[in-house]
Amino acid sequence: MKKALMIGVLLVLAGGAPGQVVGWRQNWTGRFPKATPPVEWGRTLKNSMVKGLRVQAKKPRGNAADDAAQPMTDGALLACLVLGPFTPNDPAKALDEAFLANEADVQPEVGEKVGGLEWKFLKQDRPAHVLNEVEPLPIHRALGKPKVGQVAYAHSYLYSPRAGKVALMLDHTGGCKLWLNGKVVLTNPGVSIGFGWWGPMSRNRLWYLPRSRSQRVEVELKQGWNRLLFKLSGARTEWGRGWAFLPRFIDVPPVTYEDRNILWTTPLPDTSNANPIIVGDRIFVVSEHDELICLDRRTGKVLWHAFNNYYEATPAPERDANPVFKEIEPLEEQALKETDLEKRRELLRQVKELLQKADPAKFGMNMESHPEGHWHSTGFTTPSPMSDGKYVYVWMTNGVAACYDLDGKRRWITRVDVLLRNPKDKDGPFFYPAGAALAGGRLIFWDKETFALDAKTGAVAWRKPNLSLCIGPMTAVIDGAEVVVAMTAIFRPSDGKILWENKDTKYLGSGGGTFVDKLLCIPIAVGGIQFHIYDFTDARGEALQPVKRAGEASLLSQNKAEGDDYNPKGTWVDLFQFSAPVYHDGLMYLVDYKAMLYVVDAKAGKLVYRQQLPLEPRVDVRSVALTAPLALGGKYLYCFDNQGNCVVFEPGREYKEVALNHIETFVERTHTGDGWQEFSTYAAPVFDGNRIYVRGEANLYCIGK
């Protein structure tokens, strides 16, 4: 991605009692020095067939799995042999014509000749700037682009440690016929693509359209080696850049788990990048597109939940004056109760369309194509909820802010997007999300300009078109006065007066910074990753003058031969995606999107060490591996990736690993683009005594003893 996703850094102050503000990363530092959490936990799928699968292209030499067989932990078919092209007598009946003798029983070897053709090796070719992403197997790369109606074969050997049923999801650019162990299990003469481009799929999610679905067939594998033979007719679409197919195996529900030190797991309606917050005996989380959810801190039971959308933000007199709202009301109530995600989305789609019918100018939504295409990564709920211990505040980047008491009674709800709507602006007031701050009786956030709402009433207190929060604000006390600290500026919460402006914001990354011990640390991405460290210890007055620490610690070599921030072709790899840093005992810790840890001496501005962490992040157009999930919990640092992994290590000037943990959670996918493992999103972990709360794609986890 060429543009940072601007994942929001939210303000918080430690604690949850009245008068104390909690929100993102507990106190915006990610530090929980008094916590006593476990260092080991885990969840394991007990009855998974897919976890044990291995695949190879070459012919096996016996009944056991060869050393060359690759694990299929995410269910994707990684390698095969291909043969072709063949020209059929009748292109309309290409799948019925046999081009091989006894085609159902073929057991090819690499390089084996068939007439003037030979079986060629083919594997997935993943781009250098992504990790663990699955792409279609590109037959055209081995055999050339086919002519209309031509046919090719693809064959793989699949090892299963036991017999059982699995589901195969399959996309292909032309027709496809599939044999498993000599038996036809699928015939489809047409194009079938459920996993297309991420951009259109993102738009489907944004506008409540049905999810993409790949064709799915359940098959029985035998213990030992299984043979998969695909017959594929010529491509009729450029998906996968030409002649391609993408098979992925998933388990057939139900699945069972074995848990260790996981106290409870609560399913959530939809995903979110926001972390949970703890307020007294309650936990608050948000869920796409605009839902606030309150849970019991001890048990994970949902106590109440509320939408924060345009219907909810419409005043009662306006609803009473338009009969369309009478049609909307039962749909809204039903959607709030609905637990099936597809049914809920359909109800909310109907609500959206009725609102647009009521007033297109006021309730329609236009969005620039780039953030629209990445909406599945950012959503409207990236900003975490906040609380002063008495009320809970939410800022949804659909343009709605709201305040509730702890029992769910709404205090106020305000639409800000209506203040920014302009008929001449075809993209509307919606962009990448940034966080929010609660300071000086103001709820402060950015929506193409900076707004401050009165925390008691929701009324606009001030707005600053020329003040950009970019990634998100924090709070601090400088020279005895409470201020709001953003990566771009420091300003007063009462009126937005700028007290210091950052002149070097061109390469701000997605993770944000941190403000600790009067030090503002801002990671930037320019030919690598650097730290800019500003010392506000002696800054005074209304024109703050910090001391910029020397060194700046260029963390990644710009030597192309090292391959750190360059791909094999020598072009620069996007490094905007890295975690917000953690500061502890004079050292600053940061992790990049490849799970490389950097430790920097904050005073000297020098790199102490770097270490490749034993994580397996997923990085692609919709997935940023590590943005917030680095935290200090008691004596140790905890780093989470987006695939359920967490490495625990000691702070200090050398790397000492303590534990490596993994939460395996099966999510039944509808298309081939994702494996079964639940994503951990970008939400920061929250530590509370001997517990850790982690927000996953579909669940909230309570880790503890």
Q: Which residue has the higher pLDDT, 628 or 459?
A: 459
Whether the ω angle into residue 662 lies within 30 degrees of 0, i.e. cis, is no
Highest mean pLDDT among 273-282, 369-378, 519-528, 586-595: 273-282
449 found inside a domain: yes
Cα torsion through 281, 287, 289, 291, rounded to 10: -20
Question: What pLDDT score does 605 carry?
Answer: 77
Q: Is the pLDDT of residue 469 over 80?
A: no
Q: Is the pLDDT of residue 303 over 90?
A: yes
**Which tens digits make up the pLDDT trace of 247-277?**
999 999 999 999 999 999 999 999 998 999 9
Final residue belonging to a domain, choices 251, 282, 300: 251
570-582 average pLDDT score: 64
Helix (H, G, I), strand (E, B) or coil at 34: coil
- Asked if 38 and 55 sit in the same domain, the reply is no
571-582 average pLDDT score: 65
120-134 average pLDDT score: 66
Question: What pLDDT score does 623 carry?
Answer: 64
11 found inside a domain: no
656 found inside a domain: yes
- Asked if 275 and 206 sit in the same domain, the reply is no
Q: Which residue has the higher pLDDT, 339 or 9?
A: 339
Q: Which residue has the higher pLDDT, 17 or 123?
A: 123
- Asked if 303 and 431 sit in the same domain, the reply is yes
4 found inside a domain: no
**Residue 468 structural domain:** 31-44+259-322+359-704
338 found inside a domain: no
Neighbours of 559 (CB within 10 A): 10
Residue type, 571: T
Question: What pLDDT score does 237 carry?
Answer: 62
Whether the ω angle into residue 267 lies within 30 degrees of 0, i.e. cis, is no
Cβ 218 vs Cβ 166: under 8 Å = yes
Q: Is the pLDDT of residue 662 over 90?
A: yes
Q: Identify the helix (H) or strand (E) that includes residue 352.
A: helix 341-358
- Asked if 39 and 119 sit in the same domain, the reply is no
533-552 average pLDDT score: 84
- Asked if 293 and 415 sit in the same domain, the reply is yes
607 found inside a domain: yes
Cβ 100 vs Cβ 141: under 8 Å = no
- Asked if 182 and 282 sit in the same domain, the reply is no
- Asked if 314 and 221 sit in the same domain, the reply is no
Question: What pLDDT score does 29 carry?
Answer: 83
Contacts of 602 by beta carbon, 8 Å cutoff, 6+ apart: 519, 521, 531, 533, 549, 583, 586, 587, 588
Domain with residue 198: its CATH number is 2.60.120.260
Averaged pLDDT score across all residues of the chain? 85
Angle of the 324-337 helix axis to the 341-358 helix axis, nearest 10: 160
Question: What pLDDT score does 676 carry?
Answer: 85
Contacts of 652 by beta carbon, 8 Å cutoff, 6+ apart: 587
Q: Is the pLDDT of residue 198 over 70?
A: yes
Cβ 247 vs Cβ 203: under 8 Å = no
Final residue belonging to a domain, choices 230, 251, 272: 251
Residue 48 pLDDT class (50, 70, 90 cuts): very high
Question: What pLDDT score does 377 carry?
Answer: 80
310 found inside a domain: yes
- Asked if 450 and 513 sit in the same domain, the reply is yes
Question: What pLDDT score does 550 carry?
Answer: 56
15 found inside a domain: no
Final residue belonging to a domain, choices 231, 251, 271: 251
Please give the share of the chain, as a percent, with pLDDT higher than 90. 54
Instruction: Give the distance from CA 76 to its chain's centroid.
Output: 20
Q: Identify the helix (H) or strand (E) that includes residue 356.
A: helix 341-358
Question: What pLDDT score does 576 carry?
Answer: 54
Domain with residue 370: its CATH number is 2.130.10.10
Q: Is the pLDDT of residue 454 over 90?
A: yes
Domains of the chain: total: 2
- Asked if 264 and 117 sit in the same domain, the reply is no
567-582 average pLDDT score: 60
**Which tens digits make up the pLDDT trace of 83-96?**
999 999 998 899 99
How far, in Å, CA of 668 to CA of 623, rounded? 18
669 exposure class (CB count in 10 Å sphere: 0-12, 13-18, 19+): buried
Q: Is the pLDDT of residue 236 over 50?
A: yes
CB burial readout 287-314, b (16+ within 10 A) else e: bbbbbbbbbebeebebbebbbbbbbebb
Listed range (260-269, 435-444, 522-531) with the worst mean pLDDT? 522-531
Question: What pLDDT score does 629 carry?
Answer: 75
- Asked if 472 and 605 sit in the same domain, the reply is yes
Write down the pTM of the prediction: 0.91
